[in-house]
Amino acid sequence: MSETPRSRETVGDTSAGLPQRRTGHAFAHTPRRSDGRPPQTPRGPRQPDPGGRPGTIPPVPGRPATSPRLAAALCGLLFALVTWQVLVSGPLLAPDHAISRALVRTIPDSVTERLSDLGNVPVAVPVLALAMAYAALRGRRLAALAAGAAMLAVPALVVPLKEWTARPGPLEPWAAGYYPSGHTATAAVAYVGAALLVRPYVRRPWPVAVALVLTGATATGLVLRGWHWPLDVLASLLMCAPLLIGVDRVSRRSTRRSSG
């Protein structure tokens, strides 16, 4: 059977049956917005923070972040509750005594005393002083002053509370003045305050983590050694939380101003 021209066209040229793209007004037209701008405006690059990291992504709408004022108020309320229980010998003191009896001197004193020494003024305060000096040299004097004010507030709060509550110690029931723990308060404000000051200049959040570990080690050593009740160190942490929240807010504002 002979091959006709029509059959050769059908078999050999398969592209003849495909639809061809037609150029015309429909393909040449580019949709535009009514205000004359392009249909989608490209986003500009995010500004980096002082540490050189890319800017953070804005929070998701509908999920507001926890208010620092609310957190500070909650800590203050819990601190007032614990203080009231200590003053009236309330029901919270029973588990407090039980936990202390179960933990005191379960670890050698040589270890717990070293941990407790982390809250000594000659050990903790120089760390904060160095961080304050560094922040001031970098132009964040307001943040450094806020951290220093928080440290000055520690004895101004702790000393009157010790005299007012006159709580005896776990191993010295004849003594008084154990509530709240001054060593825990000193460690918290010094170490965490220093971490908040140097945080904008490092690429990882390790300063705050190290500060929390040092503060927790101080509180743990005080309880295990029998120098403080668990509620003593808990109250100090609750008391210092609003101070550190204030330092954090001032530090963030100072960072934005110095970077701007």
Please write the tens of the pLDDT for every residue from 56-108. 555 554 444 569 999 999 999 999 999 999 999 999 999 999 999 999 999 99
Give domain status of residue 18, yes or no: no
164, part of any domain: yes
| Cα radius of gyration (the chain) | 32
> Residue 55 falls within a domain, yes or no?
no
The reply to whether 148 falls in a domain is yes
* Domain with 126 in it: 109-255
Asked whether residue 155 carries a pLDDT value surpassing 70, the answer given is yes
Domain membership flag for residue 95 = no
Mean pLDDT of the chain: 84
At position 65, the amino acid (one-letter code) is A
Q: Report yes or no: 161 and 83 within 8 Å, Cβ to Cβ.
A: yes
Q: What percent of the chain clears pLDDT 70, i.e. is strictly above it?
A: 73
Q: What is the domain count for the chain?
A: 1
Per-residue model confidence as pLDDT tens digits over 166-187: 999 999 989 999 999 999 999 9
User: Is 102 among the domain residues?
Assistant: no
Segment 22-51 shows an average pLDDT of 52
CA 172-173-175 angle, 5° bins: 70
Residue 13 lies in a domain: no
Q: What single-letter DSSP state applies at residue 191?
A: I
Burial of 93 by CB count in 10 Å (0-12 exposed, 13-18 middle, 19+ buried)? middle
Say how far apart CA 160 and CA 2 lie, in whole Å. Answer: 116
Task: Tell me whether the omega of the peptide bond preceding residue 180 falls within 30 degrees of 0, making it cis.
Answer: yes
**253 has pLDDT over 60:** yes
Is there a domain that residue 78 lies in? no
Average pLDDT over residues 19-42: 52
Tokens 């210092």 identify what position? 240
